[in-house]
């Protein structure tokens, strides 16, 4: 049975610089937020589910749980000290009953096409409570040298046991910092710090919260050990071959290169975590499979092989096989080191390891 579509009144959307439906008053000591309810829209998806949307909102949560349009707003925090989050006013208004769509499960082959399946998690939809439970603020961690948190405000809330839907019509909340910082003039920041400062809802005071602590490579890293470094991009996963012609393309005479001195490194094929420590990740050596190089020379037909991953690909999770999309690049990079002073022999795969 199809559910009657809910009529949702249009409300003027008041937005801040990043199109969030809030008005923000900021200072070095905290942030005050006042909500202005956005206009809602709805459409049918799947087997008679109603999907409710709000302009600029996103759907978060596990696949199968109720799909609630939510605004996740980044906030810059002082680099040290605590914070407190309080709600002065919170008003919800009933707008009807429906069978709200679940967060979709995305299906498809590694290279697409992809499609959404709306399958409810029966355990979640049997619960007699509101989804989500509350307006919440949580600290995320450091992105480069800026400490971040996220304010999550749902445009609606849904009780799957009763089918009730309510919209958030009024909200006033405050985030107070235990270690306030007043503007102290210009602070030296990098390009990424400036970009992060511009995307938070307290963008005027965010530059004062930049941690004055440079990100460094680990002191025990591999970078100083190689004689020469070369890098190459990988757009999609597959087998990579290093042979005489490739060594020649790097400007080396293959006859003068000992295959045992060739190493390949990477830093992982997925996105780096948002909560980035001051130290940049170190390069990790990739084991290579050797063909015909036991005599210590690069002859015709000799080669080193390894499996390279592109920036996106299939991953195995507790919920099954899913496809990971890298949001920031279409290329993964690998590094080749030739020669150098390494404490251990170059990593190689044995035939048994790939059989």
| Contact between 316 and 260 (Cβ < 8 Å) | no
Distance in angstroms (rounded) separating the CA atoms of residues 261 and 263: 7
Same domain, 32 and 149: yes
Q: What is the pLDDT of residues 166-209, one digit of tens each?
A: 999 999 999 999 876 654 544 555 666 677 778 899 988 888 88
Q: What is the CA radius of gyration of the chain?
A: 26
Which of 22-31, 155-164, 265-274 holds the top average pLDDT?
155-164
Of the residues 161, 178, 209, the one at which a domain ends: 209
Task: Tell me what the mean pLDDT of segment 328-339 comes to.
Answer: 87
Same domain, 38 and 167: yes
| Confidence band, pLDDT 50/70/90 cuts, at residue 19 | confident
pLDDT of residue 189: 58
CATH label of the domain that carries residue 35: 2.60.40.3800
7 domain-assigned: no
pTM: 0.60
Of the residues 209, 239, 263, the one at which a domain ends: 209
Distance in angstroms (rounded) separating the CA atoms of residues 208 and 202: 11
13 domain-assigned: no
Domain span holding position 307: 223-354
Q: How many domains does the chain contain in total?
A: 2
């Amino acid at each position: 049975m199809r559910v009657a579509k809910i009529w949702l009144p249009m409300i003027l959307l008041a937005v801040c610089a990043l199109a969030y439906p809030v008005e923000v008053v900021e200072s070095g000591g905290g942030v005050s937020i006042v909500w202005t309810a956005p206009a809602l829209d709805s459409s049918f998806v799947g087997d008679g589910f109603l999907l409710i949307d709000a302009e600029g909102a996103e759907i978060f949560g596990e696949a199968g749980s109720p799909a609630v349009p939510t605004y996740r707003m980044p906030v810059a925090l002082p680099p040290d000290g605590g914070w407190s989050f309080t709600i002065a006013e919170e008003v919800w208004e009933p707008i009807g009953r429906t069978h709200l769509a679940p967060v979709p499960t995305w299906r498809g082959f590694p290279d697409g096409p992809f499609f959404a399946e709306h399958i409810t998690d029966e355990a979640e939809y049997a619960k007699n409570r509101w989804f989500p439970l509350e307006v919440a603020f949580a600290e995320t961690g450091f992105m480069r040298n800026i400490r971040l948190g996220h304010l999550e405000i749902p445009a609606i809330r849904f009780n799957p046991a009763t089918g009730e839907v309510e919209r958030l019509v009024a909200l006033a909340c405050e985030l107070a910092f235990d270690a306030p910082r007043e503007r102290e003039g210009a602070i030296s920041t990098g390009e990424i710090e400036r970009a992060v400062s511009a995307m938070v809802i307290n963008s005027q005071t965010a530059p004062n919260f930049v941690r004055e602590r440079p990100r460094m490579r680990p002191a025990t890293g591999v970078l100083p050990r190689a004689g020469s470094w070369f890098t190459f991009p990988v757009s999609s996963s597959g087998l990579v071959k290093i042979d005489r012609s490739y060594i020649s393309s790097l400007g080396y005479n293959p006859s003068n290169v000992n295959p045992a001195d060739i190493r390949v490194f990477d830093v992982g094929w997925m996105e780096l975590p948002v909560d980035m420590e001051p130290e940049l990740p170190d390069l990790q050596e990739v084991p290579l499979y050797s063909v015909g190089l036991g005599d210590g020379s690069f002859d015709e037909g000799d080669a080193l092989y390894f499996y390279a991953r592109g920036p996106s690909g299939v991953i195995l999770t507790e919920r099954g096989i899913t496809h990971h999309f890298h949001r920031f690049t279409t290329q993964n990079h690998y590094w080749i080191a030739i020669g150098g002073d390494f404490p251990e022999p170059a990593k190689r795969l044995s035939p048994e390891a790939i059989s």
